[in-house]
């Protein structure tokens, strides 16, 4: 029986996991670094242990330290959250060897899915659609040119140890092949300590659609339908929604079956996500499998009514999944916006610092998963995610309106956030119509980055033009920086002549 869980994470996801623990009468154990002494996950937990200095490799990535704390606290299980050690097979193995339950899949499943060439091979054997490409590490000889020609251009070279957009290269024509190949290999060696690469046909303008699956220790596997994650910027998700406006019930059924086949092929246990690329003709291809709980899991929880963290814990505890596939429904529509401490007007640079004021949205159909509070200082050491705003409504249209309302209510000062940027996404025709793909942000950049500073400059210019127009037509000279009564005369003039709105 799992009675006590150590949460090997921080921030919003640590709090999210502890909330489910509390509902299950499970004692939660927090671990924290120097920078997290005042963090909410420490206050929320039943017990908390200091594990080291702020840099994550000396704290949240220190396997020995975390396992020894788990032993000391007599935790029955460790939940890794996402990021940090969540997809580290060695950590999962060492946790198990310490006689502690790792809340997640087996080290073997993590290893297989972590190596993209191995995963492609296993998927092919399991009858899962994979992107046409190679399934072995290629050397730079005639074979490379031959297979590249077979696959056709454009194509992608990807690092086998990569994933999530890291270590990818797009090759448009044969002349670029050798150079890109060498660069991809050396980048992979530096970034992952593994220079294996493979080739895939380039899927143009794809949708990024992922399926949530749950698998227990008794061979039961179900899928909880899809999440549309095509609104991304530099491989960082910005907005997610479910159901996907791009997929049909028939496609959902086929993709769901393949997602289950993918999980089955590695004897998957726990919650996992199977990512697909879907093209405009509704062809879909396995991309990779994430062997962890994902950031965007709440939208699935909202439409299915299933607490995914609770299911993870129950599965780890050996309980069979009681719910059958035909009981899974997507009820209504859910959208998530990620609120990062970053500055969209400054190339999305992280904007850590003190939260001076925060008012979170409330009301019908609104959920926020966060961890910050007034007076909290966001550390520079970790992911700058402040919170996730999740809305639900019966229809997609209503959900968008509700998201706009919630974004209007959301007030955060002290750090920069992408709230104005997210509001504009909700007003962009491709988003409103549900006709977007992974190029959405790039294609709509002009509109989305019409920032506040630019608006202010336009306004200043309009005021100046109005002033010139007034002085020219009336002969009156007014000083712009004076706040005398005469100033209002030219403002009135400007307003009446529709030069500016004031």
Q: How many CB atoms lie within 10 A of CB 181?
A: 21
Q: Whole-number minimum distance, CB 11 to ligand MV4, in Å?
A: 23
**CA dihedral of 426, 233, 359, 388, whole degrees rounded to 10:** 100
Q: Whole-number minimum distance, CB 287 to ligand MV4, in Å?
A: 5
Using CB under 6 A, count the residues that bind ligand MV4.
16
Residues within window 256-285 making contact with ligand MV4, judged by CB under 6 A: 277
Residue in the block written with tokens 């062809």: 283
Binder of ligand MV4 out of 287, 315, 400, 403 (CB under 6 A): 287
Q: Long-range contacts made by residues 474-481, C-beta under 8 angstroms, separation at least 24?
A: none
Q: Per CB under 6 A, which region of 194-202, 215-223, 324-332, 446-454 contacts ligand MV4?
A: 194-202
Q: Whole-number minimum distance, CB 94 to ligand MV4, in Å?
A: 28
**Residue nearer to ligand MV4 on the CB measure, 200 or 369:** 200
Asked if 199 is part of the footprint of ligand MV4 (rule: CB under 6 A), the reply reads no
Q: How many CB atoms lie within 10 A of CB 200?
A: 21
Q: Per CB under 6 A, which region of 20-28, 143-151, 200-208, 330-338 contacts ligand MV4?
A: 200-208
**Alpha-carbon gap, residue 395 to 332, rounded angstroms:** 6
Asked if 165 is part of the footprint of ligand MV4 (rule: CB under 6 A), the reply reads yes
236 neighbors 328 (Cβ within 8 angstroms): no
**Residue nearer to ligand MV4 on the CB measure, 154 or 332:** 154
Q: Both tokens of residue 419?
A: 């709230």
Asked if 159 is part of the footprint of ligand MV4 (rule: CB under 6 A), the reply reads no
Q: Both tokens of residue 201?
A: 């046909």
Residues within window 223-252 making contact with ligand MV4, judged by CB under 6 A: 232, 235
Residues within window 335-374 making contact with ligand MV4, judged by CB under 6 A: none
Phi, psi of 488 (to 5 degrees): -65, -25
402 neighbors 70 (Cβ within 8 angstroms): no
Binder of ligand MV4 out of 12, 87, 115, 200 (CB under 6 A): 200
Q: In terms of Cα–Cα distance, which of 380, 417, 399, 281 is closest to 334?
A: 399
Q: Per CB under 6 A, which region of 5-13, 39-47, 180-188, 198-206 contacts ligand MV4?
A: 198-206
Quick check: helix, strand or coil at residue 499? Answer: coil
425 neighbors 431 (Cβ within 8 angstroms): yes
Q: Both tokens of residue 48?
A: 């908390």
Neighbour-count burial for 465-500, b at 16+ CB within 10 Å, e otherwise: ebbebbeeeeeeebeeeeeeeeeeebbebbeeeebb
**Residue nearer to ligand MV4 on the CB measure, 201 or 282:** 201
Q: Whole-number minimum distance, CB 320 to ligand MV4, in Å?
A: 32
**Alpha-carbon gap, residue 2 to 428, rounded angstroms:** 47
Asked if 156 is part of the footprint of ligand MV4 (rule: CB under 6 A), the reply reads yes
Q: Is 455 exposed, middle or buried (0-12, 13-18, 19+ CB in 10 A)?
A: exposed
Binder of ligand MV4 out of 104, 167, 206, 256 (CB under 6 A): 206
Binding pattern for the stretch 435-464 against ligand MV4, x by CB under 6 A and - elsewhere:
---x--------------------------
Q: How many CB atoms lie within 10 A of CB 383?
A: 17
**Residue nearer to ligand MV4 on the CB measure, 73 or 277:** 277
Q: Whole-number minimum distance, CB 363 to ligand MV4, in Å?
A: 32
Helix, strand, coil percent values for the chain (each to nearest 5):
40, 25, 35
How far is CA 384 from each of CA 24, 208, 236, 319, 417, rounded to the nearest angstrom? 29, 23, 12, 35, 10
279 neighbors 235 (Cβ within 8 angstroms): no
Asked if 180 is part of the footprint of ligand MV4 (rule: CB under 6 A), the reply reads no
Binder of ligand MV4 out of 10, 112, 120, 208 (CB under 6 A): 208
Q: Whole-number minimum distance, CB 421 to ligand MV4, in Å?
A: 17
Quick check: helix, strand or coil at residue 325? Answer: helix
**Residue nearer to ligand MV4 on the CB measure, 206 or 270:** 206
Tell me the pairing of strands 353-354 and 349-350: unpaired
Binder of ligand MV4 out of 82, 145, 192, 202 (CB under 6 A): 202
Active-site residue list = 292
Q: Whole-number minimum distance, CB 343 to ligand MV4, in Å?
A: 22
**Residue nearer to ligand MV4 on the CB measure, 240 or 288:** 288
**Residue nearer to ligand MV4 on the CB measure, 170 or 468:** 170
Q: Whole-number minimum distance, CB 470 to ligand MV4, in Å?
A: 50
Asked if 171 is part of the footprint of ligand MV4 (rule: CB under 6 A), the reply reads no
Binding pattern for the stretch 129-148 against ligand MV4, x by CB under 6 A and - elsewhere:
--x-----------------
Q: Where along the sequence are the contacts to ligand MV4 (CB under 6 A)?
A: 131, 156, 164-165, 200-203, 206, 208, 232, 235, 277, 287-288, 438
């Amino acid at each position: 029986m799992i009675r006590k869980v150590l949460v090997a994470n921080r921030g919003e996801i640590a709090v999210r996991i502890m909330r489910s623990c509390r509902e299950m009468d499970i004692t939660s154990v927090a671990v924290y670094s120097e920078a997290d002494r005042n963090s909410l996950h420490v206050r929320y937990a039943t017990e908390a242990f200091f594990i080291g200095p702020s840099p994550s490799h000396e704290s949240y990535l220190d396997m020995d330290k975390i396992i020894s704390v788990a032993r000391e606290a007599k935790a029955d299980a460790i939940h890794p959250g996402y990021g940090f050690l969540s997809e580290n097979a060695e950590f999962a193995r060492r946790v198990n060897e310490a006689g502690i339950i790792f809340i997640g899949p087996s080290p073997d499943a993590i290893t297989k899915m972590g190596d993209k060439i191995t995963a492609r091979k296993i998927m092919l054997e399991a009858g899962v659609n994979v992107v046409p490409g190679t399934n072995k590490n290629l050397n730079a000889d005639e074979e490379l040119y031959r297979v590249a020609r077979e696959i056709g251009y454009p194509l992608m070279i990807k690092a086998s140890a990569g994933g999530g957009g890291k270590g990818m290269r797009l090759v448009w024509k044969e002349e670029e092949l050798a150079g890109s190949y060498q660069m991809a290999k050396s980048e992979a060696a530096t970034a992952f300590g593994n220079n294996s690469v493979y080739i895939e046909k380039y899927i143009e303008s794809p949708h990024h659609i992922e399926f949530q699956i749950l698998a227990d220790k008794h061979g039961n596997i179900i899928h909880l339908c899809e999440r549309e994650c095509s609104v991304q910027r530099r491989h960082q998700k910005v907005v997610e929604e479910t159901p996907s406006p791009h997929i049909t019930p028939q496609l959902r059924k086929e993709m769901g079956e393949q997602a289950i086949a993918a999980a089955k092929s590695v004897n998957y246990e726990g919650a996992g996500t199977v990512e697909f690329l879907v093209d405009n003709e509704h062809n879909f291809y396995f991309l990779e499998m994430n062997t962890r709980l994902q950031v965007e899991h709440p939208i699935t929880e909202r439409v299915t009514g299933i607490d995914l963290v609770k299911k993870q814990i129950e599965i780890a505890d050996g309980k069979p999944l009681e719910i059958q596939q035909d009981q899974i429904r997507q009820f209504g529509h859910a959208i998530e916006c990620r609120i990062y401490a970053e500055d969209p007007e400054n190339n999305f640079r992280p904007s850590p610092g003190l939260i001076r004021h925060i008012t979170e949205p409330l009301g019908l159909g609104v959920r926020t998963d966060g961890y910050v509070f007034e007076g909290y200082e966001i550390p520079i050491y970790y992911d700058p995610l402040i919170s996730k705003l999740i809305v639900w409504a019966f229809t997609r249209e209503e959900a968008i309106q509700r998201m706009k309302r919630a974004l209007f209510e959301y007030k955060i000062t002290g750090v920069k956030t992408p709230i104005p940027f997210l509001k504009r996404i909700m007003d962009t025709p491709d988003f409103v119509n549900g006709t977007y793909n992974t190029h959405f942000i790039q294609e709509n950049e002009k509109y989305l980055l019409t920032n506040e500073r630019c608006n202010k400059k336009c306004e200043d210019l309009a005021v100046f033009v109005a002033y010139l127009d007034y002085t020219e037509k009336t002969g009156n000279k007014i000083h712009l920086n004076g706040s005398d009564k005469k100033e209002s005369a030219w403002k009135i003039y400007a307003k009446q002549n529709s030069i500016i709105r004031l």
